[in-house]
Amino acid sequence: MTQHTVAQTQKLPEGFVYLQDIDPSIVQDIRYAQYHNFVGCPLPGYNAAIAIICEAAAYALKAVQEVLKPFNLSLKVYDAYRPQDAVDFFSKWAEDHQDQSMKAEFYPTIDKRNVFSEGYIAKKSFHTRGGAVDLTIIPLPVPSQALWKPGDPVLDGRLPKGQRFDDNSLDMGTGFDCLDELSHTANPNVPAQARANRLLLKSVMEKHGFENYHKEWWHFNLLNEPFPDTYFNFPVQ
């Protein structure tokens, strides 16, 4: 996990920014640049664990962060802009039915071939347009979090906090990217505190121009996205 990552001097398309340049206090844990994700490896196009996003979304996230900080809370971003190469890789991964290495944590009850039809992954993504973000809320000061490595246990993402992967976020009822009904934002079967934490995240994000995707408590789209018809494919570096 990186809180402050020095960006290389990549020239971004007009309208895109490095999130850290707008608000370096927002914690970043960019999972698709690492091994701890549902495919089990860094994705094509993720050459650095750093968040890039459209400028309008970055300033909206900064406004959310300003609301949270007085309560000793912070946003933590798992993913923002996502290159089309990475989205295309999801299709290849879904077709490889022999690879089930991350199933226990990330898709314990569904066939990976159905991740698109079940609505958890899209072949055309808001992320690729720069107007979506996956995130959670963490307490301040930032608690420590172990770096998951290949060979580490793959724990069911539906397990109670303390039994699943020890993410340093508030309890949201499941782990990030757990593709399961328990991750649906309004699912009544998660503990009361987790429901309250989801409501806090949803409320503060909606107040600042985002809309939650109802099947994923962590996913939010900027309502007034600047590039609604453009799918970008520049690398994250």
Which amino acids are annotated catalytic?
216
Nearest to 137 by CA among 214, 205, 221: 205
Q: Alpha-carbon distance 3 to 9, whole Å?
A: 19
Token code pair at residue 18 = 């490095």
Nearest to 76 by CA among 143, 161, 129: 143
Nearest to 173 by CA among 156, 195, 143, 203: 195
Nearest to 80 by CA among 17, 35, 3: 17
Q: Are 125 and 132 in contact (CB under 8 A)?
A: yes
